[in-house]
Amino acid sequence: MARASWRERIAAARAERAAASRLRTLRPVMHRDGARMEVADASGKPRSLLNFCSNDYLGLSQHFAVVNALQDAASREGAGGVASHLVCGHHALHDALEKELADWLGAPRALLFGSGFMANLAVVQSLLGDDDVCVQDRLNHASLIDAARLAGCKLRRYPHGDSSGALRLMREAADGVAMLATDGVFSMDGDVAPLRELALAARVQKALLYVDDAHGVGVLGPDGRGSVAEAQLSVDQVPLQLVTLGKALGGYGAAVVGDADLIEHLVQSARPYIYTTALPPAQAAATLAAVKLARSEDWRRGKLYDLIAHFKDRAAQAGLVLLPSETPIQPVMCGSDARALSMAATLEQRGYWVAAIRPPTVPEGRARLRVTLSALHSHADVDGLVDALGRARDKAEAEARVAEMLR
């Protein structure tokens, strides 16, 4: 029997994605200026768009104090991390950032990673093995799902937000160590996990509750300490949580924050920590400046939540279908992939950049425009976006009616 051709396989996969309107395209960003971006069009010509698909929730990625910290540290310490943390890559700036994050989130210790994906791999693979179980929300981020699969443990997924379902699955898998893992804020729906109920389920089953709070820290809770703090849960109840540094904090990388013994276990055993180069010290300096701003400048969260309320009110008036979210992630539901793409294209023609999110990132028939709000936006920006969304919806519906008549 002849060996299968990899070229034929990838060509078939591409054709299948194209037929389903699921090809993805890289869009070079030529310049960023606040909430505006110069983006290359099909011909490579730059076009200024008002960005509503960034995760820069607090508007810190271009803050002068953050950029100055980056430039100053780079001029003194260089551009790279030069080695893994355990060889010679652990800089004093890394140490200072870890201590600042731990203090902010009220935990004994923090540990830096190159990305949230790597951090999730590290946590699950270091703590679980073949005889263990990882129980997860069905809408968890892909990195948590992949982490459990690569760890070799039993992966069980409960219906979204169903703490009773989580408890049932943990009871059914009584042997070995158990971990209950959930997003704090779900990246595509924008809703918040029922963390108090999940903490109770984990305690009853003697499981470790791990919260990926990538989209919560900086935005939710007192002083922006995230969904765990908003739920008034301690390190005893949530021994580990993930903080990404590239969303509300505007930088790059991630940290796992929590119980000191667990963090030390990651230092000693987590392959994605041991066998990779440390973040550049200059990036740690920039994030350290961003954390201090996020902790002290509550007006950014106040403005953000004012914009969220304004968007939801205007969207309701326009008859747009939203998911129940009180966070900066405001999904506008489209249904079909083709309709989502049509609406995104119409928005771009009107000067707005909003990403069309399609399966497999979201379930079949649940394609959407993922609107994300930032403290960089204004009420006028939101008003213009909602008007453009209404026009894009009407155009997509007209196109769908014509397509139906031509069948």
- Which of 215, 303, 312, 377 is catalytic? The answer is 215
Lowest model confidence (mean pLDDT) among 214-223, 291-300, 302-311, 392-401: 392-401
The mean pLDDT value for 88-111 works out to 98
- Using pLDDT thresholds of 50, 70 and 90, give the confidence band for residue 300: very high
Percentage of the chain beyond pLDDT 70 is 100
Q: Is 91 annotated as ligand-binding?
A: no
* Whether residue 87 has pLDDT greater than 90: yes
Say which residues have a Cβ less than 8 Å from residue 270's Cβ, sequence separation at least 6: 122, 123, 125, 126
Question: So what's the pLDDT on residue 1?
Answer: 73
The mean pLDDT value for 171-195 works out to 93
247 labelled catalytic: yes
Q: Is 116 annotated as ligand-binding?
A: yes
Distance between first and last Cα of the chain: 42
* Whether residue 3 has pLDDT greater than 90: no
pTM: 0.94
Q: Is 63 annotated as ligand-binding?
A: no
- Using pLDDT thresholds of 50, 70 and 90, give the confidence band for residue 9: very high
What is the C-alpha separation between 40 and 140, in angstroms, rounded?
A: 32
Please give the domain boundaries of the chain with CATH numbers for all domains: 24-53+298-405 (3.90.1150.10), 64-296 (3.40.640.10)
Question: So what's the pLDDT on residue 24?
Answer: 87
Question: So what's the pLDDT on residue 164?
Answer: 96
Lowest model confidence (mean pLDDT) among 20-24, 53-57, 101-105, 129-133: 20-24
Question: So what's the pLDDT on residue 403?
Answer: 75
Q: What tens digit of pLDDT does each residue of 18-70 get? A: 888 888 888 889 999 999 999 987 777 889 999 999 999 999 999 999 999 99
What is the C-alpha separation between 149 and 73, in angstroms, rounded?
A: 39
* Whether residue 405 has pLDDT greater than 90: no
Place of tokens 């930032």: 374
Percentage of the chain beyond pLDDT 90 is 88
Q: Is 117 annotated as ligand-binding?
A: yes
45 labelled catalytic: no
- Which of 187, 227, 325, 374 is catalytic? The answer is 187
What is the C-alpha separation between 362 and 186, in angstroms, rounded?
A: 11
Q: Is the N-terminal amide bond of 281 cis, ω within 30° of 0?
A: no
Q: List, as one string, the DSSP characters of 64-116.
A: HHHHHHHHHHHHHH-SS--S-IIIII--HHHHHHHHHHHHHHT-SEEEEES-H
For residue 55, which of 323, 373, 380, 332 has the smallest C-alpha distance? 373
What is the C-alpha separation between 116 and 144, in angstroms, rounded?
A: 10
Question: So what's the pLDDT on residue 44?
Answer: 76
Q: Is 361 annotated as ligand-binding?
A: yes
Question: So what's the pLDDT on residue 279?
Answer: 97
- Of residues 405 and 181, more confidently modeled: 181
* Whether residue 407 has pLDDT greater than 80: no
99 labelled catalytic: no
Question: So what's the pLDDT on residue 27?
Answer: 85
- Which of 247, 303, 312, 377 is catalytic? The answer is 247
For residue 69, which of 382, 283, 367, 275 has the smallest C-alpha distance? 283
Question: So what's the pLDDT on residue 351?
Answer: 96
Copy the structure tokens of residue 157: 């997924």
* Whether residue 268 has pLDDT greater than 80: yes
**7: region left, alpha or beta (phi > 0 left; psi from -120 to 50 alpha):** alpha
Contact 285, 70 (CB under 8 A): yes
